Structure 1
């Protein structure tokens, strides 16, 4: 079941060969074979005809290609990683996160201090200008925080702001933020997710103006936008000193929307594009062999998992032995190697290891069809059983591999390909036994947004195990980090012991770029374009 943006899983004939080795079920997947071969042939033709020239460095312009449209430049109305990544260099927030250290560092706030579990004071940095020349003031900060946290404002990612009660100006350069309740993810949300708008400019142009002609305080300012086609930015000469985005190296950045992947490859190889992302595993290997091209694979926050619902009426999954058998029956390494590659680390706990509170010292289930069959026999299913699983179109190949693994131990799995709305309804109303999905935690490096989302008693928690729910809820309400870590550890150990999920692997983001460029993606699945530079 898909809950956030997903990437393509298969695009080439080479991936098909690996799939065919998984079992008879995959060998018959003619549709995947035809699509894969077509993509591979198209890429080979492009590679044969292309010669790299890479002109971006010559005119100090970073040319980027996106598959998805940059739907709006109003950060609070955007949903795609592409639009949000562009927004993060147009705008600044009060703080940002240093992924090398895991610490939060000042941005528009020169400093901050928690004065209680619900109060935090920010000293606003002086000398900061908006792109139109207006000076940033504490009033802009107060206006933005009070505006975007209103329920009727309609922020697309309400989770980023719905914990804010109010903001007020204490003196000339100090803003006090009051939380509705103690919220341990306050800084996580403020770091990149809550940019500050100009009060004067927003009141003049409203959300409509911000969507197409925004101003911010970020290291780049808008030059031109052609809806659905391109966005052009240039370095902001009056950008302030301090913070992680200080002193951007590249003068101009042009973002182009190129929906066809082969077109992106051709433009990259011809030197018209300097950087692309979300490149399928097999295509990245081919691109790496071309002169002037370099590739990179970086683990990100998103991970794959299989959910099991023990509350489906008369479901065999109510028996923990069946759930454990499923864990033992899935050859995660072989499937991972075929579809994702070795750059995607296998996980054993229901969280991303880089998230705060992700306990990795849990019960693990190595691949063992023998143990799976023994457990099924012990549970009374020696002759086999039938289960259903929700999948998305993008995960069809992976799901077929899982199905083949389960069939080998006597579990007949019916795959139900559903759209998001239908999948949610079926899952939450206990009509499906299993679901295959991925989860990116909104790019937030805290277990509250992984284990907390699926086992904290909310809508996606079909298990509702009180011994798991209670520590997660407690962890969501306290600010003491050591105590929070211990509570998540307890919950994650129980989830593994009771085999409620099959954790699979962390995603890696594949990028291809000019060898003249240095640009690395962050684990939160955002691209720090402000850090790009020519070699």
Structure 2
């Protein structure tokens, strides 16, 4: 039994022995691993930030577990031509401040985020939009510069009041966000605490939860203890799989699982250094034993990945992934100029660093990767960083290798954001580009652009070509797709985990009991 599990069993014994709990507050407490980077959807980049924003300020549409677009603030939408999409808003929509939400607000939101003056890290995503046209109070049209298949994925952006959509409204929206979501902002006394209350004017009816308390708890042991003591009601995808059997035995808790689209990977920095050589990246990949790691570390809650796209996705094409082959890894390292200096078990061929968050489980995974690479002659220094520091380092290219995961993969055009050479984070784009490893490949750029412009019936074949080129370049070593797991207290009923790690079902959940 690991030290973490022994510690948690010890904590459980203390709780079971009669340690008194503080009474829960008048509401539901949700624990998160890190504070949101922003409560303004135009600036939120982290999964935590975007999930919270969905509760406050949803967009025209959202996505179901099959990655199909479904209306949210929109009542319906339709393509009038390959370059024209029309949305009809739900009748009677209002913002949290009581003002009506109309097509003018939709236009102002998208005109604002497309403005260079706003300095949104998402501005480039809307380059295909030529004009947003207001037809009437409930009808708005998006005119495109050309055919753009992934458009709908970008139209889930939070809709905010027109008076906040420009540069003058950025500070106010960040400090006191207003939207038309199920919950409205009440307070945020510091970055580690956020309180939301039901919005009586929500278009699907006010939520039954009287208050939502978000608390940042960075340490997993503390998160588990808070659940055991009854001081927390919901933790999503922030409890190690090894701990879940312990929690399943507790009468006051439930563990809910759903197949997920989360994607874990080992990311490489392709800027000058050893990993700029694709042979070194391939060697690293051949030294990874992904399947046994996924089976034993995740207890059946992860599937080995061959690419960013999960097997359940419409765009999935089978690939090879990281095939364990230490002999091939040795050959590649020799060819790249990293020969074995003194034979097996002696000095390493080369040294690399691997950055990871302070989360104990993620760090334990990194240590297994360290051991696997060491057997092949690659010495790895694991550096554990608080998530905010880690995220900032990654955005600015201050890493060699990093283990991270995409919380969800819905639209395969995400690959264009992650791998296209125009999306390398820089000061000019406010470090918002997602190509954090700085992959530069004109052939891949052309394939990604083609995939975003082809007819819907041709998209799967186009992404198969993208996948084949990515296997050659290997900017990421694919690890696994993780299940979506929620630990829920008995006080919270009706919450359902999402394949994409959304928490929007809190709008339909309810608090029961004291």
Structure 2: gaps (5+ residues): 425-434
1:186 positional shift = 1.6
State how 1:45-56 maps to structure 2 within 5 Å. Answer: 45-46=14-15, 48-50=17-19
1:505 positional shift = 0.8
Q: Alignment partner of 1:257: what SS?
A: strand
Contact 1:467/1:491 (CA < 8 Å) preserved in 2?
no
Correspondence for 2:78:
113
Distance in 2, Cα, partners of 1:232 & 1:422: 29
Say yes or no: does 1:64 pair with 2:30.
yes
Distance in 2, Cα, partners of 1:507 & 1:212: 33
Distance in 1, Cα, partners of 2:335 & 2:174: 60
Distance in 2, Cα, partners of 1:114 & 1:178: 10
1:254 positional shift = 1.9
Distance in 1, Cα, partners of 2:371 & 2:225: 37
Q: Alignment partner of 2:305: what SS?
A: coil
Distance in 2, Cα, partners of 1:257 & 1:340: 26
1:449 positional shift = 1.3
Identify which of 484, 506, 519 aligns with 2:495: 519
Q: Alignment partner of 1:406: what SS?
A: helix
Correspondence for 1:75:
41
Correspondence for 2:508:
531
State how 1:127-276 maps to structure 2 within 5 Å. Answer: 127-158=92-123, 161-191=126-156, 194-199=157-162, 206-228=169-191, 230-240=193-203, 246-247=204-205, 250-259=208-217, 261-276=220-235
Compared CA separation, residues 349 and 75, structure 1 to 2 (3 A): closer
State how 1:314-353 maps to structure 2 within 5 Å. Answer: 317-319=277-279, 326-353=284-311
Q: CA-to-partner distance for each residue in 1:311-343, whole Å, 9 max, x for gaps?
A: 867889554xx7655444321123224444320
1:509 positional shift = 4.4
Q: Alignment partner of 1:252: what SS?
A: coil
Say yes or no: does 1:362 pair with 2:327.
no
The two structures have a TM-score, normalised by structure 2, of 0.78
Contact 2:266/2:478 (CA < 8 Å) preserved in 1?
yes
Say yes or no: does 1:485 pair with 2:477.
no
Q: CA-to-partner distance for each residue in 1:405-457, whole Å, 9 max, x for gaps?
A: 23334x23343749566666668xxxx9x62332417x451222137622667
Structure 1: gaps (5+ residues): 1-13, 17-34, 241-245
Correspondence for 2:428:
none
Correspondence for 2:239:
279
Contact 1:54/1:273 (CA < 8 Å) preserved in 2?
no
Q: Which moved more, 1:289-298 or 1:507-516?
A: 507-516
Distance in 2, Cα, partners of 1:463 & 1:284: 38
Compared CA separation, residues 469 and 518, structure 1 to 2 (3 A): same
Q: Please give the root-mean-square deviation of Cα atoms over the aligned residues, in Å.
A: 4.0
Identify which of 370, 393, 411 aligns with 1:403: 370
Q: Which moved more, 1:219-228 or 1:418-427?
A: 418-427
Correspondence for 2:413:
448
Contact 1:388/1:413 (CA < 8 Å) preserved in 2?
yes
Distance in 2, Cα, partners of 1:47 & 1:263: 16
Contact 2:12/2:228 (CA < 8 Å) preserved in 1?
no
Contact 2:415/2:448 (CA < 8 Å) preserved in 1?
no
Distance in 1, Cα, partners of 2:365 & 2:223: 25
Contact 1:138/1:175 (CA < 8 Å) preserved in 2?
yes
Correspondence for 2:403:
437
Q: Alignment partner of 2:101: what SS?
A: coil
Q: Alignment partner of 1:75: what SS?
A: coil
1:347 positional shift = 0.8
Q: Alignment partner of 2:403: what SS?
A: strand
Contact 2:259/2:482 (CA < 8 Å) preserved in 1?
yes
Say yes or no: does 1:391 pair with 2:354.
yes
Compared CA separation, residues 424 and 123, structure 1 to 2 (3 A): closer
Distance in 1, Cα, partners of 2:15 & 2:95: 43
Q: CA-to-partner distance for each residue in 1:6-58, whole Å, 9 max, x for gaps?
A: xxxxxxxx446xxxxxxxxxxxxxxxxxx8866765565446545789968xx
Say yes or no: does 1:87 pair with 2:53.
yes
Q: Alignment partner of 1:283: what SS?
A: helix
Q: CA-to-partner distance for each residue in 1:57-93, whole Å, 9 max, x for gaps?
A: xx7x333233433565433344444443232122232
Distance in 2, Cα, partners of 1:455 & 1:221: 37
Correspondence for 2:482:
507
Q: Alignment partner of 2:106: what SS?
A: helix
Contact 1:50/1:269 (CA < 8 Å) preserved in 2?
no
Q: Alignment partner of 1:152: what SS?
A: helix
Q: CA-to-partner distance for each residue in 1:350-405, whole Å, 9 max, x for gaps?
A: 4344555232x223554354665677789995757723434214355434323332
Q: Which moved more, 1:400-409 or 1:271-280?
A: 400-409
The two structures have a TM-score, normalised by structure 1, of 0.75
Say yes or no: does 1:412 pair with 2:378.
yes
Distance in 2, Cα, partners of 1:420 & 1:224: 25
